[in-house]
Each structure stands twice: as structure tokens, then as C-alpha cells.
Amino acid sequence: MSFEANLKQANEALEKLNNQELALDESIKIYKEGLKSIKKARLALEKAKLEVEQIDE
């Protein structure tokens, strides 16, 4: 999944968590999914940063 797709998925999770009618179990599930998406996006960003740094060398 691309950086943009992971970021979009994390934002969607955040929007869902703003729903005060969610059950605790569902909130935890959505929170974990959001964290996974953020981690994947962060890794993709770090990889891109390293590639740019290698180009600059």
C-alpha cells in the first residue's frame, strides 16, 4: 500500500474514532488499525528519505 493510501486509512480511522457512539471494543480495533497505517506510512516516508539522501551523495 502506498504512503498516501496508508495516510488516508489512518485519517479514516481517526474520523471513525470521533463517533461517540462506538463501543469500546470497536474503538480499540479501529485505533489499532489506525496505528498500523501510521506505522506503514512512517516506514514508507523513511524509505523515501533514505533514497533522497543517497541521491544527494
Residue 18 grid cell: 470521533
pTM: 0.82
Q: Using 50, 70 and 90 to split pLDDT, how confident is the model at 54?
A: very high
Q: Using 50, 70 and 90 to split pLDDT, how confident is the model at 32?
A: very high
Comparing CA positions, the residue from 18, 44, 43, 41 lying closest to residue 31 is: 18
> What's the CA dihedral at 11, 29, 3, 54 to 10 degrees?
130
The pLDDT mean for the chain works out to 94
What mean pLDDT do residues 6-27 have? 94
Q: Using 50, 70 and 90 to split pLDDT, how confident is the model at 9?
A: very high
Start-to-end CA distance of the chain, whole Å, equals 28
Residue % of the chain over a pLDDT of 70: 100
